[in-house]
Amino acid sequence: MQTVFKARRAPAARAALAALGAAGLTWLVPTRARGLASEEPPGKKKAAQSSKDELWHPSWVEATGERTIAQRLRAGPQDGEKMKLFTSWFCPFAQRAWIALEEKGVDYSYVEINPYEVDPQLPGGYTKKQLPIEVKKAMYPDFVQSSPRGLVPAVADPNGDKVWESLHVVQYVDERFDRPPFFLPKGDPLKRAHVRIWSDFVTERMQKNFYMLLMDQDPEKQATAKGAFFAECRTFAKAMSTDGPYFLGKEISMVDIALFPFWQRFLWVGGYYRGLVMPDDPEFRRLQSWWEACSERPAFKNTLVCGGRAAPWPDVTGLAGNEGTSDYAKNLQSSLSGAKKP
């Protein structure tokens, strides 16, 4: 087995495999990389990606997102000439990059990365137990070359360009495919600056407060986090144009792409775990009409996966129970006062 591997792999990959072997983790490397024909380690299964997979839960029904994935996964003769999107079906950051490629009509290839361990006892096999970077390197060498910290999303262009970090990928896609719709309005420095400011606001203020609400286990602190979350949403809504459904009015921009995947989680995951109901006031009605318009837009709709599969995700992964071990969870845990820290 080792001989076959040695004959085929570069020294760095051999070293990574040896490290995994020493840690008893060789099973994490796909059989192809191990030079094996077919066998899988006992009890180790692939996380479910489609209804054809063993760990797919019978209650899940494939939605537009799963259908887009199936189409983009299909390897074709021109696959090497396409931009690769390294992504994970569950990741809201990665969904931003996914929407950007769909909006620009790019013929990209979808590369599913599972940065976490698989537990066949859990629905879909999904956990949020972070794989060490050495393991990710051995399993997904092209991905880690495109995303040095092993976080999704990242893109790799056949011309050699590699970009990571969701909002940077969105901006790169905007300029690389220099055609409408433009995610940053062309020739308008002030509007471009505002688009960047409000996209950051989504990440720094709205989404952060929401995940505090989700992760904090103390009901009083949850109520405080919910109040802060609603206040940030209202601030955002007041900055939205009144001229059309999108943030800037009639045209979409990076702000819509930045928020959509998170608003989806606010509704689906917030409703599921915290009984979150959005208030009925002018600001939240503005946000609701924005959400409806975006959900009907084909590029956005193409990224909506099965709700039943996505909503329990933080629990099996530990976010709602504050058990997550991902970089994202660790960053948020450091902001939770008095909450459990791993």
Ligand X SMILES: N[C@@H](CCC(=O)N[C@@H](CS)C(=O)NCC(=O)O)C(=O)O
Under the rule (CB under 6 A), what is the footprint of ligand X?
Answer: 88, 91, 93, 115, 130, 150-153, 165-166, 326-328
Nearer to ligand X, 82 or 208 (CB): 208
Q: Three-state SS string across the chain, please?
A: CHHHHHHHCCHHHHHHHHHHHHCCCHHHCCCCCCCCCCCCCCCCCCCCCCCCCCCCCCCCCCCHHHHHHHHHHCCCCCHHHCCEEEECCCCHHHHHHHHHHHHCCCCCEEEECCCEEECCCCHHHEEEEECCHHHHHHHCHHHHHHCCCCCCCEEECCCCCEEECHHHHHHHHHHHCCCCCCCCCCCCHHHHHHHHHHHHHHHHHHHHHHHHHHHCCCHHHHHHHHHHHHHHHHHHHHCCCCCCCECCECCCCHHHHHHHHHHHHHHHHHHHHHCCCCCCCHHHHHHHHHHHHHHHCHHHHCCCCCHHHHCCHHHHHCCCCCCCCCHHHHHHHCCCCCCCCC
Least Cβ distance, residue 312 to ligand X (angstroms): 16
In the bound state with ligand X, the residue whose beta carbon lies nearer, of 256 and 283, is 256
- CB of residue 99 vs ligand X: minimum separation in angstroms? 13
**To the nearest whole angstrom, how small is the minimum distance from the Cβ of residue 62 to ligand X?**
21
Minimal distance in Å, beta carbon 133 to ligand X?
8
Question: Which CB sits closer to ligand X, 163 or 283?
Answer: 163
Query: At its nearest, how many Å lie between ligand X and the CB of residue 220?
Result: 28
Q: Which is nearer to ligand X, 175 or 296 (CB)?
A: 175
Nearer to ligand X, 123 or 150 (CB): 150
For ligand X, the closer CB: 49 or 326: 326
CB of 281 to ligand X, least distance (A): 30
